[in-house]
């Protein structure tokens, strides 16, 4: 029997599902988009660290007061019952992100995403302590010596310092920062404050120091689905293939047209500055966070070569492939914009018309009804009343849709502090001769004494013995 010799190697090929991360050491670059990146990053940081210190009406302007279950947004106090407002806010933010993505791609990722901002700060610290790209790459390969130890040590101390400050400011949005800092200083902060500061310190240190572009490439959901929102007119950062190819090295004063070369000198500067380590010349990629560092790098090269800038530039698929103008006003963008305007209108309406009084009625579960010593029928209720306004208020309590002559035993009016909730027991009494049903659907009411328009009602039922029906 003859044995066939396979014409090709039949050894099964093993593909690794996990590929080891190659450490990226991005080179720094100056340029107009670097200025914008700095503005975006430092503007975001200033907002993050500064807003916590703004006071409003004698308290922190922006504060998630979880122990008292309320959220202060400057002049507004949002209660758990107002959760619908938070839903509106999140839906509007999502639509705004969709609209921006349709218009300008991943501009959020490149300029203001916290992952980009903190990675940028950490990179700056790395440059101060270990030097520019080449020095850092040499240090990666170098033996452990005193120079490496102190530089690396200083870098990690700097990273940990920034991470700790980030954790403290973040927790300062949940525990008033003016009280939190002295408490931390004197060691009197509570255990949950220490725990959350620790968690955010570690998370910031790992995300911005060690994981960096891995978060954008593998963990960020927005990065995964953003490409489905792109259309042919979305602004993307792209390499002009027609102009750049064939790429190749040449002397600065050489006539590259004569050498049948395109404008790309294949210097790879655009790759060296890329924080995710990709080559923009390979086309639009999932890993591209649209930071525009490659535009700055390539424009710099073009300037040195005496070529026109823009070999790598913001453009659209339509403009790049067909030489067409980028259409700004297009149906999807108009649709998103109209939806955002409509939702902002609805949210504003809900905000302006939201009740300043909260009322929740619970019937006494021990007895459907009682007959008192005067022969009247009694039903008892617990009214949970809340003052949702910003100042102390007198709140009037009443009822409606009960037969004539019904009497309410209990407090008819209470004073509540801002945000205070109190449970009030009320009893309704009615002469049996006036009752013609065994169950009456009625309402309780609460309203600010000063403003009758704030009236809010909550439905309940009044029960009476069956023999009184007729
Ligand atoms: S390819 Fe260019 S725009 Fe994209 S991440 Fe890299 S440097 Fe930034
Ligand atoms: S920086 Fe410009 S010229 Fe240099 S490799 Fe990149 S695209 Fe080509």
Instruction: Pick the ligand that lies closest to the CA of residue 295.
Output: 1
Q: What's the pLDDT score for residue 221?
A: 85
Q: What's the pLDDT score for residue 470?
A: 46
Beta bridge partners of 386: 358, 421
State the Cα angle at 392 between 397 and 411, rounded to 5°. 25
Contact present, 46 and 157 (Cβ < 8 Å): no
* Tens digits of residue pLDDT in 388-403: 887 889 999 999 999 8
> Closest ligand 1 atom to the C-alpha of 237?
3
Instruction: Pick the ligand that lies closest to the CA of residue 239.
Output: 2
* Tens digits of residue pLDDT in 89-129: 889 998 998 899 988 888 999 999 999 999 999 999 999 99
Q: Which of 116, 223, 294 to mutate to test the pocket of ligand 1 (most atoms within 8 A of CB)?
A: 294
Q: Tell the residue nearest (CA) to atom 2 of ligand 1.
A: 294
Average pLDDT over residues 251-279: 91
Ligand 2 binding pocket includes 264 (Cβ within 6 Å): yes
Is residue 327 over pLDDT 80? no
Helices vs strands, H then E, count in the chain: 15, 16
Residues lining ligand 1, CB < 6 A? 237, 273-276, 278, 280, 288-294
Give me the percent of the chain exceeding a pLDDT of 70.
94
More confident residue, 299 or 353: 299
Average pLDDT over residues 44-66: 93
CA distance 74 to 86: 15
CA distance 71 to 83: 10
Distance 289 CA to ligand 1 centre (A): 6
Distance 271 CA to ligand 2 centre (A): 8
Contact present, 268 and 249 (Cβ < 8 Å): no
CATH number for region 357-468: 2.60.40.10
User: Domain-by-domain residue ranges, the chain?
Assistant: 231-322, 357-468
Neighbour-count burial for 74-107, b at 16+ CB within 10 Å, e otherwise: eeebbbeebeebeebeeebeebbebbbbbbebbb
> Closest ligand 2 atom to the C-alpha of 300?
1
Is residue 12 over pLDDT 80? no
* Tens digits of residue pLDDT in 162-180: 999 999 999 999 999 999 9
């Amino acid at each position: 029997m003859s044995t066939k010799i396979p014409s090709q190697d039949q050894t099964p090929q093993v593909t690794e599902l996990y590929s080891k991360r190659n450490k990226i050491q991005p080179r720094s670059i100056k340029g107009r988009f670097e200025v914008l990146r700095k503005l975006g990053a430092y503007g975001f940081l200033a907002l993050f660290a500064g807003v916590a210190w703004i006071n409003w009406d004698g308290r922190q302007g922006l504060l998630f007061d979880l122990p008292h279950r309320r959220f202060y947004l400057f002049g507004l106090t949002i209660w758990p019952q107002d959760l619908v407002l938070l839903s509106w806010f999140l839906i509007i933010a999502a639509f705004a992100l969709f609209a921006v993505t349709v218009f300008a791609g991943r501009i959020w990722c490149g300029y203001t995403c916290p992952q980009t901002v903190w990675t940028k700060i950490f990179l700056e610290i790395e440059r101060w302590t270990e030097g520019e790209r080449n020095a850092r790459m040499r240090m990666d390969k170098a033996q452990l010596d005193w120079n490496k130890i102190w530089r690396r040590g200083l870098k990690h101390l700097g990273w940990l310092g920034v991470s700790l400050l980030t954790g403290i400011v973040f927790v300062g949005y949940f525990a008033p920062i003016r009280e939190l800092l002295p408490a931390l200083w004197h060691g009197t902060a509570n255990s949950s404050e220490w725990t959350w500061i620790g968690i955010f310190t570690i998370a910031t240190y790992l995300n911005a120091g060690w994981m960096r572009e891995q978060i954008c490439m593998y963990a960020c959901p927005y990065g995964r689905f953003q490409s489905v929102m792109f259309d042919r007119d979305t602004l993307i950062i792209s390499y002009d293939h027609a102009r750049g190819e064939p790429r190749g090295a040449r002397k600065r004063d050489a006539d590259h047209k004569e050498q049948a070369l395109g404008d790309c000198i294949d210097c790879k500067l655009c790759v060296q500055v890329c924080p995710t380590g990709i080559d923009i010349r390979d086309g639009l990629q999932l890993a591209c966070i649209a930071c525009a560092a490659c535009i700055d790098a390539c424009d710099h090269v073009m300037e040195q070569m005496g070529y026109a800038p823009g070999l790598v530039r913001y453009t659209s698929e339509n403009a790049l492939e067909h030489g067409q103008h980028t259409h700004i006003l297009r149906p999807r963008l108009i649709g998103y914009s109209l939806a955002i305007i409509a939702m902002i209108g609805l949210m504003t309406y809900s905000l302006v018309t939201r009740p300043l009084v909260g009322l929740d009625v619970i019937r006494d579960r021990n007895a459907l009804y009682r007959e008192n010593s005067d022969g009247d029928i009694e039903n008892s209720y617990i009214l949970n009343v809340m003052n949702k306004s910003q100042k102390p208020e007198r709140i009037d309590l009443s009822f409606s849709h009960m037969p004539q002559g019904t009497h309410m035993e209990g407090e008819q009016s209470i004073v509540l502090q801002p945000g205070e909730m109190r449970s009030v027991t009320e009893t309704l009494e009615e002469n049996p001769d006036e009752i013609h049903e065994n169950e009456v659907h009625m309402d309780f009411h609460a309203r600010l004494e000063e403003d009758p328009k704030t009236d809010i009602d909550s439905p309940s039922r009044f029960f009476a013995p069956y023999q009184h029906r007729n």
